[in-house]
């Protein structure tokens, strides 16, 4: 389960038109403009395709091929090898904002100045594509390849998390024209929330961890108590992401769909933790606790479904809650009957059950994203990413 991002589209950008004198880099600058044009074309084409036919790997390939050229231009501008003859302006649609009038592909493009505005949106789009690609990977799950597919999907989300983190801490602070109004994508707290700050979980890595739990469950060797702790960890990551995103203020509000996904995610993974606490209690002959946790689990799953009856579009989490409630209802009926006829154990109160819930745990560490080396211009001083080796194609996980 991961959030489905709507990828942005962008206006045209000719580097030849904005650079003073391309000098020895005439051919390379033309190639940069051509690569940028390819990015615009594939993003526009994506909007015309059915959701289940979209090729996010193609988007990622196109962005990966453009990035070394974009890094080259950034380095050349930073070292004085190239100069601007006029402001470099580029326009991108803000896809994580709530728009009062415009929605989806009709959302207005927002113009921003400076090459780092371009880099922010290119990397954000790359991260969105990695996250969406994880969902395509999971559709290929069959019993024979489940472990491998879960690995690939988790890796895709881990890559997305690392890119969001890089944008927040390495690119946005270098954007000198961060004036209002500005797209929410360029506000540091949003990519931080979508990613993970070291030591504190966030959305993309939380989704990756949830997939890792599914893989662990395949083996059957993981304890139910540990699974519960891992789900509590995921819920905590969602909770922090929701809190951070909800605190963002500006001319444009963050997408209601995204905030709804995070809010539902908190409830869903807390419910999943209670399900496994119930299973663990049953294994330890604590039928009263098992019944109590299952009741609480069912209440949480119902709350998610009830919340999706509002005007906000039903989240993917709510759909999963429906399926999980069926399983939980069967378990609750079974455990209740056993307790009523064999166990005769008192069912703890909600307050007592809450005190029994353990602290959460994590299972994954986030990768470190690195920009690719420039393909032309200065190579001994990478202004865009001064201490990073090449990352080109590092996101290709199959």
- Between CA 44 and CA 254 the distance in angstroms is 23
What's the confidence (pLDDT) of residue 156?
Answer: 92
**Of 86-90, 234-238, 283-287, 360-364, which gets the smallest average pLDDT?**
360-364
Instruction: Confirm whether pTM is higher than 0.85.
Output: yes
In DSSP terms, 109 is beta-bridged to 93
What's the confidence (pLDDT) of residue 219?
Answer: 76
Q: Torsions phi, psi of 273, nearest 5? A: -65, -45
What's the confidence (pLDDT) of residue 315?
Answer: 65
What's the confidence (pLDDT) of residue 114?
Answer: 92
What's the confidence (pLDDT) of residue 397?
Answer: 36
Question: According to the per-residue pLDDT averaged within each range, which of 52-66, 89-103, 232-246, 249-263 is highest?
Answer: 52-66
Residue 181 neighbours by CB distance under 10 Å: 10
Fold of 15-356: 1.25.40
- Between CA 196 and CA 107 the distance in angstroms is 28
What's the confidence (pLDDT) of residue 99?
Answer: 62
When pLDDT is averaged across residues 78-107 and rounded to a whole number, the result is 80
pLDDT beyond 50 at 102: no
Tell me what the pLDDT averaged over the chain comes to: 86
| Structure token digits, residue 4 | 């489905």
Q: Torsions phi, psi of 382, nearest 5? A: -85, 100
Residue of 72 and 182 predicted with greater confidence: 72
What's the confidence (pLDDT) of residue 220?
Answer: 79
Q: How does residue 224 score in pLDDT terms, banded at 50, 70 and 90?
A: very high
pLDDT beyond 60 at 192: yes
pLDDT above 70 as % of the chain? 87
Q: Is 196 helix (H, G, I), strand (E, B) or coil?
A: coil
What's the confidence (pLDDT) of residue 384?
Answer: 55
CB 32, CB 73: distance < 8 Å = yes
Among 4, 262, 241, 9, smallest CA distance to 129 is for: 4
234-270 pLDDT, tens digit per residue, is 899 889 888 888 888 754 578 888 888 889 999 999 9
- Between CA 250 and CA 179 the distance in angstroms is 11
295-336 pLDDT, tens digit per residue, is 999 999 999 988 765 544 566 788 889 999 999 999 999 999
pLDDT beyond 80 at 106: no
């Amino acid at each position: 389960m991961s959030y489905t991002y709507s990828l942005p589209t962008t206006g045209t950008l000719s580097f030849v038109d904005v650079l003073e004198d391309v000098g020895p880099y005439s051919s390379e600058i033309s190639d940069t403009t051509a690569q940028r044009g390819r990015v615009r074309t594939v993003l526009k084409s994506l909007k015309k395709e059915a959701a289940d036919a979209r090729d996010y790997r193609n988007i990622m390939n196109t962005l990966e091929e453009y990035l070394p050229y974009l890094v080259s231009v950034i380095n050349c501008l930073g070292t004085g090898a190239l100069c601007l003859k006029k402001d470099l302006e580029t326009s991108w649609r803000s896809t994580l904002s709530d728009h009062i009038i415009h929605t989806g592909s009709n959302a207005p493009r927002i113009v921003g100045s400076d090459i780092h505005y371009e880099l922010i949106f290119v990397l954000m789009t790359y991260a969105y594509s990695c996250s969406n690609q994880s969902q395509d990977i999971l559709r290929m799950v069959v019993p024979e390849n489940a472990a491998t597919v879960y690995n690939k999907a988790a890796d895709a989300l881990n890559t997305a998390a690392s890119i969001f983190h890089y944008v927040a801490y390495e690119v946005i602070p270098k954007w000198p024209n961060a004036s209002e109004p500005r797209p929410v994508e360029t506000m540091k707290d949003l990519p931080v929330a979508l990613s993970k700050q070291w030591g504190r979980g966030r959305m993309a890595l939380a989704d990756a961890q949830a997939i890792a739990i599914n893989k662990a469950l395949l083996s059957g060797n993981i304890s139910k108590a540990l699974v519960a702790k891992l789900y509590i960890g995921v819920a905590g990551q969602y909770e922090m992401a929701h809190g951070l995103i909800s605190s963002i203020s500006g001319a444009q509000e963050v997408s209601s769909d995204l905030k709804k996904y995070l809010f539902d995610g908190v409830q869903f993974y807390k419910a999943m933790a209670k399900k496994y606490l119930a299973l663990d209690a049953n294994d330890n002959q604590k039928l009263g606790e098992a019944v109590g946790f299952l009741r609480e689990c069912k209440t949480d799953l119902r709350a998610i479904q009830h919340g999706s009856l509002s005007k906000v579009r039903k989240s993917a989490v709510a759909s999963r809650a429906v399926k999980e409630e069926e399983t939980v209802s069967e378990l609750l009926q079974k455990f209740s009957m056993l307790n009523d006829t064999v166990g005769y154990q008192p069912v703890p109160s909600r307050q007592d059950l809450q005190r029994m819930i353990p602290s959460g745990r994590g299972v994954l560490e986030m990768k470190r994203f690195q920009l690719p080396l420039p393909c032309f211009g200065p190579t001994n001083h990478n202004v865009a990413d001064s201490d990073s080796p090449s990352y080109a194609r590092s996101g290709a996980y199959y």
